[in-house]
Structure formats: C-alpha cells, structure tokens
Amino acid sequence: MVLTSTQKLTWEEYLNYQGESGVCYELYRGQLIEMPTPTALHIKICEFLVYQFRRFFAANNLQLVAVVTTAVRTEENSARVPDVVICTRSLWEQVCAQPGSAILDFEEKPLLVIEVTSQNWREDYIRKRAEYDFIDIPEYWIVDPNRPKIRLCSRPENESSYFDREFLPGEQVQSVRFPEFILSVDEVLCPPQVEDLIQEEAAQLQQLGQQNQQLEQENQQLGQQNQQLEQQANLERQRADLESQRAERLAQRLRDMGVEDAEL
C-alpha cells in the first residue's frame, strides 16, 4: 500500500524533508508520497540492471553511471525516484556536490530511467511516463515482472513524444540510446544473484590468467629450445669452419711441397 500525505510541501521543504528512517519519498505537485517497501525480486532486478549497465559502460569506456535511489525533478513541485537512473558522470558529480537529498535538478537530464513495477504500477505506465516524457528524458523502461514484460519508451527522431515498444519473455530487449546494450527479457524478469555473476566473472578471469601463465611458460620453453638449437647450429658452423680451415692448410702445404691436388 502506498501512503500519501495530506501535507503539502514546497520544493525547498522536500529537499530537506526528514521522514521515517529507511523510507523513500516522492513528491507529486507538492503532495508527499511514501514509496512502498520493495520486494526481494524488485531488489534483484534493480541490482542486476545496475550491474549490467556498469559492465557495459566500463567495457565501452563510457563516462556514465548507473545509480539507484536518486530523485529526478519532473515539475515545479514534483520529484520522482526511478529504480535506476543512467546519467553522465559529470552530472552525478554535481548531484554529489550539492547539500541535501540526492536529486537531479539540473538543465542536463538523465539519459535513461527505469521503473520496476510494484503495487502502484499504474503510476509507472501513466503519470511517470508523462512526466519523464515532459522533461525530455530520452529513454524510459518499465520492467513489469507481474505481466510479465518490459515496455521501452523512447522518442524517435523528429517526434515530440514517446513511442512505446514491448518486449516479452523469450525476446531480447535492446536499448535505443545504447544499441549495443542487449539483455534477455527472461533474465531481467528473473535475474541471477549479482554475487554469483561476480564470482563467475572472477573465476573466468582467474582461468584466463592461468591460461596466459601457461602460455607464457610454454613460450619460455620454446625460447629456451630455440636458443639451444641456435647454439648447436653455431657449434656446427664453427666445426665446419675449422674443418674447412684445416683442409685449406693441408692443401697449401701440399702445394708448397710441389704436390698438386690432381696427384692426390
């Protein structure tokens, strides 16, 4: 159940509002809204998405961040708290430098926001969609594990509002803003533990390290063998040179004695 306060707050009051510990609040046209406590699946989905985005940014050397529990100002007295926010690192540093609550309230907007539906799913599909569209956030995901599906809202070129596309189980969801970022819908809706993914990645890195070490050892052995072969070849050349020199000295001595090669 989502609790809505009858108390009206100004934007400045919301910035410094101290509610119940551990509770997150949104503001809708001055009305304070208590966010529902997320389910375990809700948390797993958010952690999985953040992990995948961060890996993607690191692999592609993108100066972007994926953060949670960060509000986005959508109207004069409204702020929403998406489950995941993707923004530039410079924008996030501005948020970190300001006092009070972590709220994106700048001319620069997030590149992508994600909502994982809960009891108030209508808010995600209707009101929040309209608000994110209004402030020109390029891409908005609605991850709905109950239906199940992922709705991706993006603004096509030269269009003034969102265009919606739905991805169902068995399909892959592809970001419009980041076309190379592709995830399995099944894995998003029922994700593995991030800790397991980290352990698996660490094991793969360790295995690669061992393989590289083995290859290095084999290269060293080959180098030693080549060095030995080269040394043997040098010895053979030296022996051949000595034999040639001896034969030449003998031939010269015989010539000095008046014995021609043809007489031998």
Sorted by where each begins, the domain ranges of the chain are 37-192, 207-256
CA-to-CA dists, residue 193 to 109, 115, 196, angstroms: 30, 19, 5
Decide if pLDDT at 238 tops 60. Answer: yes
- The CA-based angle 167-129-115, given to 5 degrees, is 60
What superfamily in CATH does domain 37-192 come from? tt1808, chain A (3.90.1570.10)
4-8 and 71-75 strand pairing: unpaired
pLDDT in tens, 84-112: 999 999 999 999 998 878 899 999 999 99
Q: What mean pLDDT do residues 154-173 have?
A: 93
Contacts of 96 (CB under 8 A, 6+ apart): 102
Residue 112 structure tokens: 């992508």
Question: Cβ-count burial of 69 within 10 angstroms (0-12 exposed, 13-18 middle, 19+ buried)?
Answer: middle
pLDDT in tens, 176-231: 999 999 999 999 999 999 999 999 888 777 777 778 888 888 888 888 888 888 88
Q: What mean pLDDT do residues 35-43 have?
A: 93
Residue 226 to residue 120: CA distance in whole angstroms? 72
Provide the residue type at 37 as one letter. T
Element of type H or E holding 113: strand 112-116
Q: What mean pLDDT do residues 248-252 have?
A: 83
For residue 50, give the nearest of 237, 157, 191 by alpha carbon.
191
